[in-house]
Structure 1
């Protein structure tokens, strides 16, 4: 008796289908469908709504929070110049977090039902439908939840007065990352460095998906040896 392999029906909600692909999931999810029309994730309208986010929601929601943390450090005794330097360090740390998450978490290989499902929700959907504009930035609800462990981590290493500025810098780095990521997919930059970054990132999506994990820069790809061949040879994609 021949058992027919599971096939994903793109006309039905996808999230609870993709897990059934098991070992074939990785191959499937890295075959992009280039369409501005995003798929439906859930049959439930509330869950579906929570997966869709306009890009401008990220700076609108989080930039006031960033300012709040900067002001908090100033009120705790730091000068504006000190807060700027601390914030710049926070942004720098974010670039490493950005690279690390993208390389080791977002591109983890999965093959079981629930691990495939979780990966698809986290990042796989973006590789399958890279031009889906409503699922390109991180939903604010999820970001808010993740802020708590990141705050505690920063507070563990920093002083009480520097923690707000350092965390605010990291949060600002995240805002810059998400807005840059959206622009690389949907903007049309005509000059470097944005033009180079767009080419670099689309290379990650459509040619060499296990290289080029940086979004806002190629710094950590250079340091850790994950530059794609085109970036090291200088050839255009």
Structure 2
């Protein structure tokens, strides 16, 4: 399938192909290929390497930054209880960012060559190949770049001593999000809460892709009216859940 007769060759690197799909990119990218083997993105080996991330890299790299941030606020005079409150507020702010980024950036509709290409790199690849283990969590280099505007945003409304603690809380929320996201795709939940979260997220992938934007919870979907209906999951969801 392709715009103006263009067809994507899944046996060749995909990133610079998908832009040619034009206005049919939206339909193509939301027709998932459910295999554990992910496609090649780039001809260049280094660029290809940067797109692949093991899930455990997220906590290994970012939890030390979380602890350093909170310890910095503690050294500036804040108590453990105050640090815990900052962390909780930071996590809450992250859940809102998680929802808004997923809804308005990750699911933006595009049809231009570079718009399609950028969207595929950011999130489209995850919908096309939802079980690709190495392209599920966010690459650390990209996270590091995004930490800069996040830190500067926190500084706008926080004091110098609370900025690190709030930043650390938000970053902890991100770590929880990415690890949870991986868990929902590749683990077999055995509790009521985690089973419902997995079902909720797979509904977003395979049944109602314009609703259910929350990953760690459905709170903001409830607030903003994007909660999916209560219709039972389709057969594909059930197959993946087994």
Return the TM-score normalized by structure 2.
Answer: 0.94
Runs of 4+ in 1 over 4 A off after TM superposition: none
* Equivalent residues in 2 for 1:1-237, closer than 5 Å: 5-230=5-230, 235-237=232-234
CA distance in 1, matches of 2:220, 2:162: 25
- Measured on the aligned residues, the alpha-carbon RMSD in Å equals 1.1
CA displacement 1:163-207 (0-9 Å, x = unmatched): 000000000000000000000000000212110000000000000
Structure 2 gaps, min length 5? 235-242
Residue 161 of structure 1 aligns to a residue whose secondary structure is coil
Return the TM-score normalized by structure 1.
Answer: 0.96
Summarize the Cα distance change of 1:21–1:188 in structure 2 as closer, same or farther, 3 Å threshold.
same
CA displacement 1:61-80 (0-9 Å, x = unmatched): 00000000000000001001
What is the deviation of 1:236? 4.8
CA distance in 1, matches of 2:81, 2:223: 29
Summarize the Cα distance change of 1:4–1:209 in structure 2 as closer, same or farther, 3 Å threshold.
closer
CA distance in 2, matches of 1:4, 1:148: 40
What is the deviation of 1:4? 6.0
Residue 193 of structure 1 aligns to a residue whose secondary structure is helix
What is the deviation of 1:156? 0.8
Residue 78 of structure 2 aligns to a residue whose secondary structure is coil
